[in-house]
Structures are given as C-alpha cells and as structure tokens.
C-alpha cells in the first residue's frame, strides 16, 4: 500500500480500517446498486427506528477520550447520515464512491472518510486538532472547529487536517476526476472486533471493485492500543 497512516495519538481503543483504491472511475451508481442500498437502508427510514445505543455511546466515548464533545452539528458523521436519511425519507445518492461510503456507514453505524489521494497526498497521520484549527467542509464555505477532534492530516508538507469522524474537508473530497482514493473507517475496539472490521473491509473492497472498476485495492487494520 502506497498510503501511509501514522497514529500520532496517546494509547486508546481507537481502531482504524484503511483502504487504498487505485484506478477507479467515479460515476453515478448503477440501478442495481441503488436498489441494493435502498433495500439495506429502508428499515432506517421509519421514525420508529432508533440509532443503536451501543454504537452511539461507543463512538462518542472514543471521541471524548481525546477531549472532544460530540453533539449537535458536531456529532459523528454516521449519526448525521442516519438522521438525514430519516428526514429525507430515503438515501441521498451522489456518486458511486460517496454512495459506498454512506451506505456502509449507515449499515455499520461507523463514521467513514474518503479522500482523493492526489489532493490529500499519500503520507497521512491521525492526530488531535489544534485549538484554533478549522477547515471548510462544504461548498457553502462553512467551517468545522477541529479543537480536540480526532483528525486525519497530511504528514509533513503543511500538516493540514483533511478529515475527521464528524465531517471531511471540502478540499480533498472525491469528484468525477478522482482516480485514486483512501478510505478511513473509525471505530473503537470496545464496539468493533478485528473480525468485524475485516468483514466490513472485505465488503467495502468488493463494492469498490464492482462499482468503480478499481484496478488495485489494498486494505489494513490499524490499532492505537498500547
């Protein structure tokens, strides 16, 4: 794997799934895949469906370990997707790469980041956001405060943060011209075993191969435990 992700954090229960996919084609999802997503997520649309308490507490507790307080607009991305799905009454299709990200984030209840590697660079690290650090996370120019938030950042270069379990930087998002991507799945060893993570990675890899025609894909599990 060409992508390097260094964990520059204190010991914790953080568990990361990392995928690098090269030679992808970004395009609208096929009807077959759209139908599969609809089938997998329809159960979440009902207002009676409640976000799993164990997953919510587990991921929020992980972020609190580093001093961040996830709530409101700063809640984990997986929670935001769940609420957005219920508000819309259905899945928000964007493109095949983003759809895979959001589909598997919804079904696993784990926050996931996807980066265009030509924009982010291949040398990355996990660190804690600085007190005055921010980045723009959407086309409207809205900023996210990264204070004490777990972030993915460039390692070396400008050391800029590019993503997090809450929202990712607009500057490294995937669009039609993207060819090489990295995927980061955030979880805690308290809620996701290595076997569960490997099954999720395997499913993610299968979908990337089928839906994007990726030429090469590699994956790994990283742990921050001592």
Arithmetic mean of pLDDT, 186-193: 94
Beta-sheet strand order (sheet of 4-7): 4-7, 123-128, 150-154, 161-163
Predicted confidence band of residue 226 (pLDDT cuts 50, 70, 90): low
pLDDT for position 124: 96
pLDDT for position 50: 87
CB burial readout 191-201, b (16+ within 10 A) else e: bbeeeebeebb
pLDDT for position 99: 98
* Full set of structural domains in the chain with CATH: 4-223 (3.50.40.10)
Torsion angle in degrees (nearest 10) through CA of 171, 175, 179, 183: 60
Q: Can you tell me the distance from the alpha carbon of 208 to that of 128, in angstroms, rounded to the nearest whole number? A: 29
Q: How many H helices and E strands in the chain?
A: 6, 10
pLDDT digits (tens, 9 = 90+) for 123-179: 999 999 999 999 999 989 899 999 999 999 999 878 899 999 999 999 999 999 999
């Amino acid at each position: 794997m060409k992508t390097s992700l260094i964990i520059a954090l204190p010991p914790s229960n953080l568990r990361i799934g990392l995928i690098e996919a090269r030679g992808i084609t970004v395009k609208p999802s096929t009807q077959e895949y759209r139908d599969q997503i609809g089938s997998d997520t329809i159960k979440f649309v009902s207002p009676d469906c409640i976000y799993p308490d164990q997953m919510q507490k587990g991921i929020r507790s992980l972020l609190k370990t580093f001093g961040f307080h996830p709530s409101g607009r700063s809640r984990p991305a997986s929670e935001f997707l769940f609420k957005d799905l219920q508000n819309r009454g259905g899945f928000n299709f964007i493109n095949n790469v983003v759809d895979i990200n959001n589909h598997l984030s919804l079904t696993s209840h784990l926050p996931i980041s996807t980066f265009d590697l030509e924009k982010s660079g291949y040398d990355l690290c996990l660190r804690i956001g600085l007190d005055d650090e921010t980045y723009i996370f959407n086309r409207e120019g809205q900023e996210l405060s990264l204070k004490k938030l777990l972030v993915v950042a460039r390692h070396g270069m400008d050391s800029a943060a590019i993503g997090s379990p809450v929202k990712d930087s607009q500057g490294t998002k995937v669009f039609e011209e993207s060819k090489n991507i990295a995927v980061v799945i955030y979880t805690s060893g308290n809620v996701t075993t290595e076997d569960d993570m490997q099954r999720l990675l395997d499913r993610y890899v299968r979908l990337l191969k089928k839906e994007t025609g990726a030429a090469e894909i590699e994956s790994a599990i990283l742990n921050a435990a001592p």
